[in-house]
Amino acid sequence: MKPKYMTRSVSEAVPVEIQSFLWQCFEVGMKQGMTDYLHIFECQRNSEKIANQTIIHRCETPSFEQEYTLTVDGPIEAKIYIIDEKEYSILMYANEY
């Protein structure tokens, strides 16, 4: 397994439970043949007490979109990328790309 990194801003602002969930989605996707170098995650807060976080995972190769709803302590509003390089993968905010 190749090393995983994240930017400091993601490390400081995104709750660990969301970081872990994004990495898990990425790893499952790669095992299922989603070979796109760019995985996009749109994180949206919900007003519900239960299932207060929606995450939409998208890829272009192959075309893929999956929506998840979670219950987390600190829901966020953000667009986050996981970029798969040959030697490593990195988790970052979209505006850091």
pLDDT at residue number 46 = 93
- Whole-prediction pTM value? 0.94
Q: 42: which DSSP letter?
A: E
Which residues of the chain are modeled with pLDDT < 70? none
Task: Find out whether 14 and 80 touch, Cβ atoms under 8 Å.
Answer: yes
Work out the percent of the chain whose per-residue pLDDT is above 90. Answer: 84
pLDDT score of 16: 97
72 touches 53 (CB < 8 A): yes
The per-residue pLDDT for range 37-57, each reduced to its tens digit, is 999 999 999 988 888 999 999
Distance, CA of 14 to CA of 29 (rounded, Å): 21
In the chain the domains, ranked by start, together with CATH numbers, are: 4-96 (3.10.450.150)
